[in-house]
Amino acid sequence: MHPLHELTLTDLRRRTSIKWTMHDPDVIPMFVAEMDVPLAEPVARALSDAVTRGDTGYPQPRVYAEALADFAADRWGWTGLDPARTLAVADVMVGIEEVLRLTGAADVPVIVNPPVYQPFFDAVGHVGRPLVEVPLGDDGRLDLGALAATFAQRPGATYLMCSPHNPTAVVHTAEELGTVARLAHEHRVRVVVDEIHAPLAPTSGRDVFVPYLSVDGTDDAYAVLSASKAFNLAGAKAAVVAGGAATADEIASVPEIVSHGPSHLGTLAHVAALTDGRPWLDALRADIAENRALLGDLAAEHLPRAGFLAGPGTYTAWLDLRPYALGADPAAVLLERARVALASGLAFGGSSGVGDGRARLTYATPPDVLRDVFGRLGAVLD
């Protein structure tokens, strides 16, 4: 089983998602975190069976939380995910917005670490809270010293963290997360963690994924999780907000209408993925690891002056193209000249400028497509 080897570019161009319809047909799209894989067979079967039954009514949200708790215990050794302290939401960003409303009034700042997933900025603005940027270090990791100083300056703030981090794919260590929890407790900072890429991260070794709520001192924190990135289910809406031991009353205060966001088909798909799709996920993670190695070789060959971060946490790479003097937005230049669509680094950098001259590339694609992409980039940048 090799999910990333099963489709051709011709197959992929038959798709109608935004990835394959935003640009002209000669463009290879690498800008969105959507994988070029077929559906895992258990997921396809669950959806097909539901349609055959006419099972397209309202969802039963608790089954997703229960499947996620079982997955978390099996993959991460985390037995503390209590379905009674969860909230069903349409997707991770909807869940994050709901939790931002719970964890601070309109004048309480939200701290983020650019470069970071671009909808974080929109979400904070949408709930009407001020934004504070604490950029990552040059190695793509959390700058714990800067976080400590910012927490001390803004006691009672909310910290919105991405784990594993998007776009650098860095997996935060248990020590880093423990430091965050200690600092948050000391300065009364509420922590909200986007863990959507977690199922793709290593389950052993140096870069093992650690759920934030499994760390001591996180009783008032929240994590928002979904199977969507690991199983390519962005169009099948469903996600779960999980809270620490002290969050039950807050979760209970969320209007019931919020739990109507996930679709029934989405819930069925995510439950099938987490329950029966684990062998497929293991095969996918192996393919992604091979692509990550190929990415390094191709970058050395075709973009020798570029810097890049591509940690093991997911399938995104953060490219530093400033040595090629393409201006603040190299993605726009490369779309025009190379006919490759990357995600603009400007959207990830906020006002801090750490996105200038950078771009994100999604490499969960067949190896031949990845070779074509770097061949095109290299021909322009040589």
For the stretch 179-201, pLDDT in tens is 999 999 999 999 999 999 999 99
User: pLDDT tier at 319 (50, 70, 90 boundaries)?
Assistant: very high
Is pLDDT at 356 greater than 90 in this prediction? Answer: yes
Residue 211 is predicted with a pLDDT of 98
Copy the structure tokens of residue 356.
């200038």
SS (H, E, C) the chain: CCHHHCCCHHHHCCCCCHHHHCCCCCCEECCCCCCCCCCCHHHHHHHHHHHHHCCCCCCCCHHHHHHHHHHHHHHHCCCCCCHHHEEEECCHHHHHHHHHHHCCCCCCCEEECCCCCCHHHHHHHHCCCCEEECCCCCCCCCCHHHHHHHHHHCCCCEEEEECCCCCCCCCCCHHHHHHHHHHHHHCCCEEEEECCCHHHCCCCCCCCCCCHHHCCCCCCCEEEECCHHHHCCCCCCCEEEEECCCCHHHHHCCCHHHHHCCCHHHHHHHHHHHHHCHHHHHHHHHHHHHHHHHHHHHHHHHCCCCEEECCCCCCEEEEECHHHCCCCCHHHHHHHHHCEECEECHHHHCCCCCCCCEEEEECCCCHHHHHHHHHHHHHHHC
Mean pLDDT score, 275-298? 98
Is pLDDT at 321 greater than 90 in this prediction? Answer: yes
Is pLDDT at 61 greater than 90 in this prediction? Answer: no
- pTM of the shown model: 0.96
For the stretch 88-108, pLDDT in tens is 999 999 999 999 999 999 999
Copy the structure tokens of residue 269.
């798909």
The pLDDT mean for the chain works out to 97
Is pLDDT at 68 greater than 90 in this prediction? Answer: yes
Residue 217 is predicted with a pLDDT of 97
Residue 382 is predicted with a pLDDT of 78
